[in-house]
């Protein structure tokens, strides 16, 4: 199967309605436009990786990528493999890791960087962040990362970081739920948190009661203002000026 063949598999999935999840009792598949978004971004021969498994795994398989899906339910893997074979897909490049992504991803050794990744495994905090951290390291420059379920706060925090970051370009949001980003630069290896647009809101005193929050924020702004003024003074005057 190649390219658009993967998109046509979405219609097949919709009409067949295979039940992969929760011991074969639940359908937790990504939505149709999300599956089409994956199909549009994967090409035969790509290296691909996902957390979670299901209809999305069928799409990667149909596209002919060398694909790895990480999820703890081995029975789910067998149902996905059986379904792929029933509809005539070649599963020789499909592999599963039957483990949780937080255990499997740190040690995952791939023969080459990942071209397309999909995060749709465990959705409780901090798992989407953990998945993002380990997958980002394996994604090639120019590679595509699709995040499902961005309205969930535990996923929205990853979306918020990526959307503000110059290292990522938002390609598309599908189904009001899944966001595809292209990687433009590798993560900064140093702890320059203050350069990240995500941290622009520092200091965030929202944990404090209102009166304390106002006092802390005002104090911070006054110090910032004084620092800026000092920086504008000629150096001799600056040395004599009192520090805030």
Q: Determine the interface stretch with ligand SAM among 68-76, 84-92, 209-217, 226-234 (rule: CB under 6 A).
A: 68-76
What span, in angstroms and rounded, lies between the C-alpha atoms of 38 and 9?
12
SS (H, E, C) 95-152: EEEECCHHHHHHHCCCCCCEEEEEECCCCCCCHHHHHHHHHHHHEEEEEEEEECCCCC
Chosen residue from 5, 28, 161, 182 binding ligand SAM by CB under 6 A: 28
What span, in angstroms and rounded, lies between the C-alpha atoms of 69 and 86?
19
Contacts of 244 (CB under 8 A, 6+ apart): 222, 223, 226, 227, 230
The CA distances from residue 79 to 50, 96, 235, in Å, are 17, 12, 72
Chosen residue from 29, 61, 65, 165 binding ligand SAM by CB under 6 A: 29
Q: Tell me: does residue 76 bind ligand SAM (CB under 6 A).
A: yes
Chosen residue from 43, 100, 140, 196 binding ligand SAM by CB under 6 A: 100
Q: Tell me: does residue 174 bind ligand SAM (CB under 6 A).
A: no
Residues 175-234 interacting with ligand SAM (rule: CB under 6 A):
none
Q: Determine the interface stretch with ligand SAM among 28-36, 108-116, 139-147, 227-235 (rule: CB under 6 A).
A: 28-36
Q: Tell me: does residue 21 bind ligand SAM (CB under 6 A).
A: yes
Q: Tell me: does residue 68 bind ligand SAM (CB under 6 A).
A: no
Q: Tell me: does residue 51 bind ligand SAM (CB under 6 A).
A: yes
């Amino acid at each position: 199967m190649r390219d658009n063949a993967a998109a046509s598999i979405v219609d097949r999935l919709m009409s067949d309605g295979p039940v992969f999840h929760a011991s074969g009792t639940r359908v937790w598949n990504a939505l149709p436009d999300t599956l089409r978004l994956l199909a549009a971004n994967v090409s035969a021969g790509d290296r691909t990786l996902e957390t979670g498994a299901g209809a999305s795994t069928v799409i990667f398989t149909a596209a002919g990528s060398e694909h790895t899906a990480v999820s703890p339910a081995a029975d789910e893997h067998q149902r996905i493999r059986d379904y792929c074979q029933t509809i005539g897909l070649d599963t020789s490049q499909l592999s599963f890791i039957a483990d949780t992504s937080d255990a499997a991803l740190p040690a995952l050794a791939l023969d080459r960087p990942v071209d397309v990744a999909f995060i749709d495994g465990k959705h409780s905090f901090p798992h989407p962040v953990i998945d993002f951290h380990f997958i980002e390291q394996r994604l090639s420059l120019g590679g595509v990362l699709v995040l499902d379920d961005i309205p969930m706060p535990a996923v929205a925090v990853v979306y918020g970081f990526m959307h503000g970051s110059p290292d990522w370009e938002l390609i598309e949001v599908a189904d009001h739920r899944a966001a595809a980003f292209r990687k433009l630069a590798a993560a900064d290896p140093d702890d320059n948190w203050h350069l990240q647009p995500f941290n622009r809101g520092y200091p965030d005193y929202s944990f404090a009661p209102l009166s304390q929050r106002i006092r802390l924020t005002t104090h911070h702004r006054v110090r910032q203002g004084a620092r800026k003024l000092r920086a504008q003074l000629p150096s001799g005057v600056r040395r004599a000026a009192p520090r805030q």
